[in-house]
Amino acid sequence: MAIDDNPIEVLRKQFELEDISKSPISEVVIRVTAELAKFLPLPHSLQSVIQKVSDKIRTDGVERIAIMLKTVADEVLKHDRDICQLRESQSAEQKKARDEQEARLVVDGARRASTTRSIARVQRIGIILARAISAPAPPDEDEIEEMMRIATELTEVDVTHLHALVGLQARFLEGRSHVERYNAYQSWESGPWRDRVDPTLDSVFHKLESYGLVSAIAPNNTFNIMADIQTRFALLPKGRRFAELIGS
């Protein structure tokens, strides 16, 4: 693979042109804090904090982009031989189109990474991008962008619970568009949560549901209004796909 064809090199050239440390988001925050310092009667202790905001935003953003890039590079290198073979079979037009796709996605990922606090979430963005770059088929840009957005929102607890549900129910999605209600309901108790009633589970899984990764199951119609039961959830294809992209 020629160095100019390497998606990581394409990305770095893009960064040189765009200067991510001066992204619109960072510049707006920096400008607003500077205006606050000018016009509000801020106490001295807060003024010293405001003065450090600009450098902190830029430094943290660049560090997170670097972590994301390293994650992408490390993952892509594992599949470098396969990627080279794939690109050798493509026409010049196909190579150019895919390089441009991947560069757009990684630049978008870098912007997300630069404003994401959690390093684990930054690394998940990088893993998603690496999987998209390494896949034989051209990436679906809309799908990958959405998966990166979801990756910036889910906590470690959210991801752990999703993986647990994938382990329970992914097999029921083979050749199907959904997990049948009976299979989803019966498999639920085999999870680490067992059959206990836990409001925290509701919170986590309803959050996953809001991103279209799982779906709540209607309770058994033999329960009455006084029954204290745990809501159970079914894995959706999008949830399995997200879990595949971020890995274990």
Whole-angstrom Cα distance, residue 229 to residue 34?
52
Q: Which residues contact 195 (CB under 8 A, 6 or more apart)?
A: 189, 230
Q: How far apart are the first and last CA of the chain?
A: 29
Can you give the pLDDT at residue 59?
72
219 contact partners, CB below 8 Å, separation of at least 6: 227, 229, 231, 232
Q: Which of 217, 202, 212 is nearest to 241 (CA)?
A: 212
In whole angstroms, what is the distance from residue 160 CA to residue 243 CA? 10
- pLDDT per residue of the chain (248 residues) written in tens, 0 to 9: 444 555 555 555 555 555 554 555 555 555 555 554 555 555 555 555 655 655 666 677 778 888 888 898 888 888 888 888 888 888 999 988 888 888 888 888 988 998 898 999 999 999 999 999 899 999 999 999 999 999 999 999 999 999 999 999 999 999 999 999 999 999 999 999 998 889 999 999 999 999 999 999 987 766 666 667 889 999 999 999 999 999 87
The residues spanned by each domain of the chain are 3-153, 156-246
Radius of gyration over every alpha carbon of the chain, rounded to an integer in angstroms: 22
pTM of the model: 0.79
CA 18 to chain CA mean position, Å: 23
CATH topology of domain 156-246: Arc Repressor Mutant, subunit A (1.10.10)
